[in-house]
Structure 1
Amino acid sequence: MAAIAAWMPAQRWFAGKGHAPVLRRIGAWELPVAEPGVRALSLLVMDDGAEPPVLYQVPVVERADGGSADEHLIGVLDDGTHLIDGPHDPAFTGALLDLIRAGGRAVAHGATAMGHPSALRAGDSDAPAGATARVPASVLGGEQSNTSIVYRPVGEAPVICKVFRQLHHGDNPDVTLQTALGVAGSPHIPPVVGDVLGEWDDVGRAEGRARGHLAFAQEFLPGVEDAWRVALLAAANGQDFADEARALGAAVAEVHLGLRGAFEHAPASDELIAAVTGAWRRRLAIAVAEVPELEPQRAAIEAFYERAEAGAWPDLQRVHGDLHLGQVILAPDRGWFLLDFEGEPMRPMAERRSPDLPVRDVAGMLRSFDYVAGATELLHPEQAAEARAWTASARQAFVDGYVAASGMDLTVYRDLLAAFELDKAVYEAIYETRNRPHWAPIPLRAIAHLIEAGPLEASTDAAGAPQAGGTAPDATAADAPA
């Protein structure tokens, strides 16, 4: 554990910045490897130095001779064994993909791991066990919370496998929601390859064991940038984005309809409404204390919250939960894909697995469009007016596409949507003030504009049917803090 404890703080997925990990091994599961002198394991280690303690999954490969992956060396054990970061070693990556595509159970060392191929792909692979050890694999850069391995098998579609670093009891919504959408035939998620489900000791549970997802594999779409980068380029070049935004709104609506059909939904209770509005007010109190510029607007923001609390609330259902332009990609000839259904990272996993409000996703995407304008203005101040117009057009098109595909009249929930946008912007103001003060004007300006313009106004289409949009405020959208 000493070698891993010394290595972990430098990893992007380690959440305990500011303290040295105090590790305790909970268990491990081992993958079969044909290569002599090599073991591929995934260790489950508890960091008792965190408050509350955090359970991490740490894949490792033990090599007697060190192999060729010493640039990803974790440490050298007393007997000379080299400990390699598993996602960077072909012994682990190949055996992991075998486990997912063929199914079966890994060797248990206090923790179990079972591979589950997708029901739509079971039996696709006739390759013998261990064959995928030869599939080229690399780690996707830039991730904060997990580690994704990209496989590029010859003659097959590439596969991306996300190895979850922080483990929680219960199903991971990234797996369950996308698997259900895949079974339902949704064209807006990458096809599912399979997953790994594990079980480990947990003295905090009555039964003494916890169960949760360890890894999740899907088709990988190479050479496609996320919509945040695409939108930034479009705004900077003055390229109209209305058609793409309208199609994205329709895609989000279709995903919501698919989730509503696959999982339970129910009316919003008084308890839920109180919990949501209470969270808004707590976040606002923190923001006012840390961002003094918000103090003069506090009463106006609270008035928005009060109107939303007393207004209409849609049914609860499963949603994406952390939707912004960085979570979607536009694939040529295949349309929009939504990614990363784990939900907002700062929310407890139990909350992320619960039914939520579709307008949370709508508000998140609307905020994200505003960040495109804000970022464009920071880089190109002379394009401020054009960036504002670009955002207004994209926002309106997104809402129009969502309303048309979902059948939901967002004007009924105009106060609620405005409150969610404001709450998101308040969060952004906290984040930017703490981390990137020069970006703080983006959410602060959004808050001022939203208060001034008010919620979405009703308009009518050619047939006279109510639509959401009208004078939608032009200050909204954020993925940069996510």
Structure 2
Amino acid sequence: MGDLLESLAFWMPRQRWYGTKGRDPRLTVVADWPLDAGGHLLLVRDEAVQPAIVYQVPVVRRTEGSVPPGSLIGPAGEGQVWADATTDPAFTDLLYTWVTVGGEVGTAQDGFIGIALVTDPADAPAPRATARVLSGEQSNTSLIFRPEGEGRPVICKLFRQVNPGVNPDVELQSALAAGGAAFVPAAIGEVRGSWVTPEGVPVSGSLAFAQEFFEGVEDAWRVALDAAAAGEDFAARAHALGASVAGMHVALAQQFPTVEPDQADRAAVVGAWERRLAIALAEVPALAPYAERIRAVYAAAATAPWPALQRVHGDLHLGQVLDTASNGWVLLDFEGEPLRPISERLRPDVAVRDVAGMLRSFDYVSGAVADDDGASVRAWVIAAQQAFLSGYRETAGVAGAGDDALLAAFELDKAVYEAIYETRNRPNWVGIPLAAIGRLAPLD
């Protein structure tokens, strides 16, 4: 296993899901679960960053020259190599069985279990399917399973960063789907592991989650871009999207505990806004004239009425929504911001955060559409935002929608974050959040 760890230390930083770019990994094996056909499901702990990150890395041992170049990890001796198992049919067949039928590997203290969530035989997935890795994903690895014969396609997300506790993507989507919500995909199954930490603490956590896959659909970002570029009225679609997001919040508040925010809750949120603003002022000089106005917006929100804290999506934008013929708008990826600690993502939060994220996503349409008439696209964005808010408030109610001052602060905080991100990664786009900050915190 030592040679494999050395190879992984070279291979992992080159993967999109590796979270500590620019540092040399310091890897140890937390769990090693042997699989059929020469495979291993590994949990590998990287102590190059604190707190340490645990990654899920399924590997297979195969004949040299028989694996795709992008899957090659390193030599395994005797004419064989280690490869990423997510492209290996033997492993993907096992994964499909775990999430559609079930199964166990190892023990209750050191192993994992596949849990099928479909209870109606009429809805059961096909007994066999062919897997393809979905390209472009950042923090996880998703595989699309298309049936060999009759049956519906399935998409299975393999969580690369593994944390103790049920991943919110599994917990929230499964609860919503079980409650009959049409605005999330049907839940198919999950894989949950148990292991012992290096400190000797037994823990369990989510390893994979499978759900219904919608073929041939586009996400709301692409749909909105095309509509804006063509000058098409999007108000009805945005209104329906607002209703779907509100329906999600209403359902989550019914199925999970809610908490009335106290002064400590408010202080924690406002403190996070202020810390982000401090970073932005250090990195984005153009923000300096707006600093006092931004702080005034934050102060107004701190004393405004707040709705009850509840479970939320946590990372909502147009790219997290599918446009489906059968279900209308379908919301995806309830994992929250992957870089936030799992403990934070599991806490009740302010639902307005999701609303602000969607409003900011609509605003980005104006920067992404190539149009000579900027005023026309800006008018399209404003109409879409207003229709979205109207649809949201009609379903969530006034109390659920939150106070205007609170929504403005969350929008502003999101724009401040975007200004930092664009300055670091896409300087040509920094004008989009800066323009939004000018509107939300105008100078006198």
* Normalised TM-score (structure 2): 0.94
- Counterpart in 2 of 1:167? 162
Give the secondary structure class of the aligned counterpart of 2:115: strand
**Offset at residue 437 of structure 1 (A):** 0.5
Q: Is contact 1:241–1:394 with CA below 8 Å preserved after alignment?
A: yes
Contact map agreement 1:61 1:86 (CA 8 A) in 2: yes
Q: Deviations over 1:228-249 (max 9, x none)?
A: 1111111111111111100000
Q: Equivalents in 2 of 1:318, 1:52: separation in Å? A: 25
Deviation (angstroms), 1:296:
0.7
Report the CA distance shift for 1:279/1:389 in structure 2 as closer, same or farther (over 3 A). same
Q: 1:139 aligns with which of 133, 147, 151?
A: 133
Report what 1:106 is aligned to.
105
Counterpart of 2:270 in structure 1 is 277
Contact 1:46–1:55 (CA under 8 A) maintained in structure 2: yes
Are the counterparts in 1 of residues 118 and 187 from structure 2 also a CA contact under 8 Å? Answer: no
- The equivalences for 1:357-368 within 5 A come to 357-368=350-361
Offset of 1:408 from its aligned partner?
Answer: 2.7
* 2:204 counterpart residue number: 211
Question: Does the C-alpha gap of structure 1 residues 71 and 171 become closer, same or farther in structure 2, counting only changes over 3 Å?
Answer: closer
Corresponding residue for 1:120? 119
Q: Is the 2:261–2:309 Cα contact (8 Å) retained in structure 1?
A: yes
- Residue 218 of structure 2: SS of its match in structure 1? coil
Instruction: Give 2:256's match in structure 1, choosing from 248, 252, 263.
Output: 263
Q: Which residue number in structure 2 is paired with residue 187 of structure 1?
A: 182
Cα 1:199–1:370 change in 2 (3 A) is same
1:418 corresponds to: 408
In 2, the alpha carbon distance for the partners of 1:170 and 1:108 equals 18
Q: Distance between the aligned counterparts of 1:397 and 1:259, measured in 2?
A: 23
Give the alignment's Cα RMSD to 1 decimal: 2.0
**Secondary structure in 1 matching 2:33:** strand
Cα distance, 1:51 vs structure 2: 2.9
Superposed, 1:5-20 pairs within 5 Å as: 5-20=9-24
Per the alignment, in what secondary structure is the counterpart of residue 77 of structure 1? strand
- C-alpha distance in structure 2 between counterparts of 1:88 and 1:223, whole Å: 22
Q: SS at the partner of 1:354?
A: coil
Count of aligned pairs: 439
Residue 436 of structure 1 aligns with an amino acid whose one-letter code is: R
Please show how residues 86-97 of structure 1 align to structure 2 within 5 Å: 86-97=85-96
User: Residue deviations 1:26-82, cap 9 Å, x none?
Assistant: 112234x4xxxx322211111122233211000111225664545522122123332
- Contact in 1 for aligned 2:34/2:40 (Cα 8 Å): yes
- Structure 1: distance between partners of 2:67 and 2:55: 26
Alpha-carbon distance in structure 1 between the residues aligned to 2:401 and 2:249: 18
**CA gap 1:357/1:71 in 2 versus in 1, 3 angstroms:** closer
2:25 alignment partner, one of 4, 18, 21: 21
What displacement does 1:145 show? Answer: 0.1
Cα drift, residue 119 of structure 1: 4.8
C-alpha distance 367-67 of structure 1, shift in aligned 2 (>3 A): same
Counterpart residue type for residue 191 of structure 2: V
Specify whether residues 155 and 430 from structure 1 end up closer, same or farther in structure 2 by C-alpha distance, changes over 3 A only: same
Q: Report the residue type matching 1:84 in the other structure.
A: A
Tell me the SS of whatever aligns to 1:15.
coil
Cα deviation digits, residues 107-131 of structure 1 (max 9, x gap): 469841111111535796598xxx6
Q: Aligned partners of 1:73 and 1:110: how far apart in 2?
A: 31
Give a deviation string over 1:418-438, Cα, whole Å, max 9, x none.
Answer: 000000000000000011100
Residues 67, 83 of structure 2: 8 Å contact kept: no
1:410–1:296: structure 2 CA closer, same or farther, 3 Å change rule?
Answer: farther
Displacement of 1:2 after TM fit?
1.3
**Alignment partner of 1:325 out of 318, 328, 335:** 318
Flag the 1:453–1:404 CA change in 2: closer, same or farther, 3 A: farther
Which moves more between the two structures, 141-150 or 399-408? 399-408
Aligned to 2:221: 228
* Distance (whole Å) between structure 1 residues aligned to residue 108 and residue 48 of structure 2: 24
Cα distance in 2 between the residues matched to 1:102 and 1:236: 45
- Alpha-carbon offset, residue 409 of structure 1: 4.8
Measure, in 2, the Cα distance between the counterparts of 1:169 and 1:43: 15
CA contact (8 A) 1:28 1:109 kept: no
Structure 1 residue 3, shift from structure 2 partner: 1.6
Query: C-alpha offsets along residues 212-268 of structure 1, whole Å, 9 cap, x if unaligned?
Result: 000000011121111111111111111111111000000001111111111000111
Partner Cα distance (1:119, 1:253) in 2: 26
**Structure 1 residues 71 and 301: CA distance shift in structure 2, 3 A:** closer
Tell me if 1:178 matches 2:173: yes
**What 5-or-longer segments of structure 2 have no aligned partner?**
none
The whole-number CA distance in structure 1 between the counterparts of 2:95 and 2:363 is 40
> Does 2:8 match 1:4?
yes
Q: Secondary structure at the match of 1:150?
A: strand
The alpha-carbon distance between structure 1 residues 259 and 411, as it changes in their structure 2 partners (threshold 3 A), is closer
| Aligned-partner residue type, residue 245 of structure 2 | V
Residue identity matched to 2:22: G
Name the residue aligned to 1:478.
none
Q: C-alpha distance in 2, partners of 1:121/1:212?
A: 26
Aligned equivalent of 1:430: 420
Shift of 1:342: 0.6
Q: Please identify runs of 4+ aligned residues in structure 1 that moved more than 3 A.
A: 64-71, 107-111, 119-127, 409-412
SS at match of 2:77: coil
| Equivalent residue number for residue 56 of structure 1 | 55
Cα pair 2:110 2:194 within 8 Å, conserved: yes
Q: Is the 8 A contact 2:30 2:198 kept in 1?
A: no
Instruction: Choose which of 444, 447, 450 in structure 1 pairs with 2:434.
Output: 444
Change in 2 beyond 3 A, CA 1:416/1:453: farther
Q: Is the 8 A contact 1:29 1:107 kept in 2?
A: yes
Alignment map for 1:329-408 (pairs within 5 Å): 329-376=322-369, 379-380=370-371, 382-408=372-398
Aligned partner of residue 431 in structure 1, secondary structure? helix
| Partner deviation per Cα, 1:142-182 (whole Å, 9 max, x = no partner) | 11000000000021111000000001111100000000001
